[in-house]
């Protein structure tokens, strides 16, 4: 195996191991020795790629940011309405959290006071901007009541989405996240969408709960 490819695989293994431990036990309670043991690498291999635990945290948060941008870009390119795009993005991110530890760990790091290094932005800031932009589009497209306070709703949506994941961690398996995302959308759709347009979006949320993260 070429040396560069082997180094890339080792780095990915270390990141995945660190993400798994950060997600399960938290940033402060995870040591570099824990990560070395979990990744089954040497300390030298770890220090070759990461000088400190914070560097690992930053790498995980960067991967989470890329996942969010990729999800938004892929959905945006498919011609959906603004509200459908927003619903689909939340389900893609939910499935990513179910399927792997990196996205889950990124959220836990973001709520544990680990500040992203510039130019990386806090994930909640990015999520808030995406939600605001899509909701403004939904108002223009008459899928959301025109008198809606879009910024307040966007803020509430992000808090709802993040809170469901944090509160659910000690209470239920991660596989329940799609159900919680569906419940979130049932409430929001009934409160925001004109009656004659609700069936389309309620059906969409129900269908996406059962689908894989394909965008």
Mean pLDDT, the chain, rounded, equals 92
* pLDDT given at position 204: 98
Average pLDDT (69-76) is: 89
CA angle 78, 82, 88 (to 5 degrees): 65
Domains of the chain and CATH, by start: 57-209 (1.10.357.10)
Measured at the alpha carbon of residue 95, what is the angle toward residues 93 and 101, in degrees to the nearest 5? Answer: 85
Write down the pLDDT at residue 214.
46
The proportion of the chain whose per-residue pLDDT surpasses 90, expressed as a percent, equals 71
Query: How many whole angstroms separate alpha carbon 18 and alpha carbon 34?
Result: 8
User: Quick one: average pLDDT of 34-41?
Assistant: 96
pLDDT band at 5 (very low <50, low <70, confident <90, very high): confident
User: How do residues 125-135 score in pLDDT, each as one tens digit?
Assistant: 999 999 999 99
| Amino acid 215: pLDDT | 42
What pLDDT was estimated at residue 61? 94
How does pLDDT run across 55-69, given as a tens digit for each residue? 999 999 999 999 888
pTM for the full predicted model: 0.89
CA 136 to chain centre: 21
Question: What pLDDT shows up at residue 213?
Answer: 53
Q: Alpha carbon of 215 to those of 5, 16, 20, 61, 92: distances in Å?
A: 29, 23, 24, 21, 6
Nearest to 141, CA basis, from 86, 181, 77, 186: 86
pLDDT digit string (tens) for 101-123? 998 999 899 888 888 999 989 88
């Amino acid at each position: 195996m070429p040396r560069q490819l082997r180094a890339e695989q080792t780095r990915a293994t270390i990141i995945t191991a660190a993400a798994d431990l950060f997600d399960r036990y938290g940033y402060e309670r995870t040591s570099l020795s824990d990560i070395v043991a979990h990744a089954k690498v040497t300390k030298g291999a770890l220090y070759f790629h990461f000088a400190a635990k914070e560097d690992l945290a930053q790498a995980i948060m960067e991967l989470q940011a890329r996942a969010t941008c990729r999800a938004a870009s892929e959905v945006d390119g498919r011609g959906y309405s603004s509200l459908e795009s927003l619903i689909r993005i939340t389900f893609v991110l939910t499935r990513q959290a179910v399927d792997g530890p990196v996205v889950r760990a990124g959220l836990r790091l973001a709520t544990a006071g680990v500040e992203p290094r510039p130019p990386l932005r806090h994930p909640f800031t990015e999520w808030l901007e995406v939600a605001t932009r899509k909701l403004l589009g939904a108002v223009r497209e008459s899928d959301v009541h025109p008198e809606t306070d879009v910024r307040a709703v966007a803020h509430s949506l992000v808090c709802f989405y993040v809170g469901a994941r944090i509160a659910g961690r000690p209470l239920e398996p991660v596989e329940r996240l799609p159900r919680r995302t569906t419940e979130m959308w049932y409430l929001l759709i009934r409160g925001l969408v004109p009656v004659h347009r609700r069936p389309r979006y309620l059906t969409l949320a129900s269908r996406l709960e059962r689908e894989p993260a394909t965008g």
